[in-house]
Amino acid sequence: MKLHFFVVYLGTFIILLTLIVALYYIRTQKPKYFRYILTNVILGFLISINSILYDFFGNIGNKDLFYYIAHWLNFLQFLSLYKFFFTFFTNDNSIKTIKWLVVILSIIQLGFLLYSWVITDLFLYVRIIGLLLLIVFSVKYFRNLLGSKPTIILLKSSSFWIVTGVFFSFSVNLPIYSINPFLRNFSGFENIGFQLFSISNMTLIVFYILIIKGYLCLKYPQNP
């Protein structure tokens, strides 16, 4: 439990720092995809605040309400990251197929989300679907990057660092959320759940640190 609280508060501080950096660069000329990253950071900060409020008031209030708010914010985060990746696939022949896939999966996610108020376990499948799709997008980005002419200095590329954060964080989170439904059948799940949640949040901390790195790369305008 102590690890859980430490990670939640550390993560909130890192996300707040990321938001401050994002607002500092808000007037700086930058690629279009940063508007979706800013949206993602704001939603991430709201999720952290919701988690802190749950720790303080979850035992005396409606726990399902906190869960439901978190589910909706997570879903909106996925949508913002889908839009983020679309900015890189504009010249891709498969973009129409990708968009239709996103629309179909988003509808499925939304359906699960609407029912999750009654069946709370369904939110896990919402998250798993989103994680899978964003991992595929990350791999596609790296594949396109490797297949293009070496004109970008990766260490100074904002998009490279942000996509790396997405790929790392969500690749670790995918097995965590995939085994979660099975662990619920065992005694002592609550303690294990808190530990897994802490690991998940640690990877998200790395993700937001890499977003900060992406913003700092804006001083190298030749690297998208």
pLDDT, mean of each 10-residue run, the chain (224 residues): 77 95 92 94 93 72 74 89 88 72 80 64 73 91 82 86 96 86 66 77 94 91 64
**What pTM was computed for the model?**
0.88
Looking at residue 77, what is its pLDDT? 92
Which parts of the chain fold into alpha helices (H)? Answer: 2-24, 34-57, 63-86, 95-115, 122-147, 158-183, 189-216
Domains of the chain: 2-219 (1.20.1070)
Q: How far is CA 62 from the centre of its chain?
A: 25
Cβ atoms of 116 and 64 within 8 Å: the answer is no
Residue 63 CB-half CA count within 13 A:
4
